[in-house]
Amino acid sequence: MRWSLELAQALVVLVLWVCCGSGTGCPCSDRALCSPVTVEHEFEVFVFDVGGTDWKYYDWSKVTTIAKVGSNNPELLCHAHAKKVRVVLKGYIPINIILNRGSRRTWIDNQVQLAKRQFMDGINLDLVEAIGVKSPKYDALTQLVVETVQLFHREIPGSQVTFNVPWSPDCIDGRCYDFLRIANSCDFLFVMSYDMQSQMWDDCFAKANAPYYQTLSGYSAYINLGIDSRKLVLGVPWYGYDYPCTQFFGVRCVLKKVPFRGAPCSFLAGHQVPYKEIIKYAHKSITGRSWDDEQKAPYYIYMVNNTFHEVWYDDPQSISMKSAIMKELRLGGIGTWNGNMLNYGDDPLAVMQTENMWNALCTF
């Protein structure tokens, strides 16, 4: 009798899966587009999307993965899958749950079920909280990543699980994670090679968001930990920082001291500006586009209300140089935060500038 009951329950589960599983509720006109993308690419071009309709104008000949930030967009999913491009969840890890095994498992279960409901191809994990090497959270974070990878790979075959890391493994902003074990467990690390002025210890001047040699040193440090270079995807910024100067000496912009995680000065003295806004006003500046050969980055200076401002950013020239690092160190790919920061209008100049930024990701 018990065997018959178990058999009946199994048959019910099977029927429910066939009738109500993959395909039912599919938002795409072709139900095949709701199946996970399993195509393997030679290298990753990983792009974050923060909403709206800009995705319609992305260079889909280059993109391999879209990390969707914010609400679900079925139209984006269907279009991406038609192009054999993965769409993954953006999973912000709540720091307060990682020490409790049950809470971790519940959170991971919820992410997997959300990915299934939205026909996603995986998840991009992100944590920006400081964790010390001797903290209990050090090992707990690694375990959360391991458990997430295991469950996603089992429940969604071919799915992709990635983890965002700072530009260097040297405890940037107090983020002392077990980078080697995390890299070994997940599909790859997305290295956020930007916001490098989050902590300024030596001086308080405006500087490049992602200086070239600092970028290069970060990848060398990850590889020196024993991480396979193919498990590192190089993240570049499609934005810059506008810094108001408290004093201005030639091209030296002295910043207001705004501390961050122990450092006396930080990028919080300025504010982020998307590339599409930066280039709109560069020609109206005092200097026009200038180039700093030491940091391998462009900048310009303008004045408003008797205050000098220095704007540091990345453009096709500086991004192309970073793209070459990917080839030189045999990294697993390149990506950007974020795809929405370019001008997708129909003005001929904007079209050219946007195309040049996309091309800079894959100069080789």
pLDDT in tens, 305-315: 999 999 999 99
Considering the chain, what percentage of its residues have pLDDT values greater than 70?
A: 93
Averaged over 133-141, what is the pLDDT? Answer: 96
Segment 269-283 mean pLDDT: 95
21 falls in which pLDDT band (50, 70, 90)? very low
27, pLDDT greater than 50: yes
- Residue 24 — very low, low, confident or very high, per pLDDT cuts 50/70/90? low
Higher pLDDT, 12 or 285: 285
pLDDT, tens only, 64-99: 999 999 999 999 999 999 999 999 999 999 999 999
Least confidently predicted of 4-8, 233-237, 266-270, 350-354:
4-8
Provide CB contacts within 8 A for 303, sequence distance 6+.
286, 309
Q: What is the pLDDT of residue 245?
A: 97
40 pLDDT tier (thresholds 50, 70, 90): confident
20 pLDDT exceeds 70?
no
What is the predicted pLDDT for the residue at 55?
A: 98
Does the CA dihedral 234-183-67-41 come out positive or negative?
Answer: positive
**Mean of the pLDDT values across residues 6-33?**
57
Long-range contacts of 79-83 (CB under 8 A, 24+ apart): 79/55, 80/37, 80/55, 81/28, 81/33, 81/34, 81/35, 81/37, 81/119, 82/30, 82/33
Q: For residue range 218-257, what is the model confidence (pLDDT) as tens digits?
A: 999 999 999 999 999 999 999 999 999 999 987 799 999 9
pLDDT class of 153 with cuts at 50, 70, 90: very high
Q: What pLDDT, on a 0 to 100 scale, did the predictor assign at position 250?
A: 79
- 284: exposed, middle or buried (Cβ count in 10 Å: 0-12, 13-18, 19+): exposed
Q: What is the pLDDT of residue 17?
A: 34
Residue 202, pLDDT > 90, answer: no
The mean pLDDT value of the chain amounts to 92
DSSP states of 189-214 as a string? EEEE---TTS-B-S--B---SS-HHH
Beta-sheet pairing, 44-49 with 333-337: parallel
Q: What is the pLDDT of residue 364?
A: 66
Percent of the chain at pLDDT above 90?
88
Q: What pLDDT score does 67 carry?
A: 98
**For residues 357 and 353, what is the distance between their CA atoms, to the nearest angstrom?**
6
In the predicted structure, residue 22 carries a pLDDT above the cut 80: no
Distance CA 231, CA 26 (A): 32
Q: What is the pLDDT of residue 177?
A: 97
pLDDT band at 287 (very low <50, low <70, confident <90, very high): very high
Residue 167 has pLDDT above 70, yes or no: yes
In the sheet that holds 307-312, the strands lie side by side as: 271-274, 239-244, 307-312, 297-304, 290-292
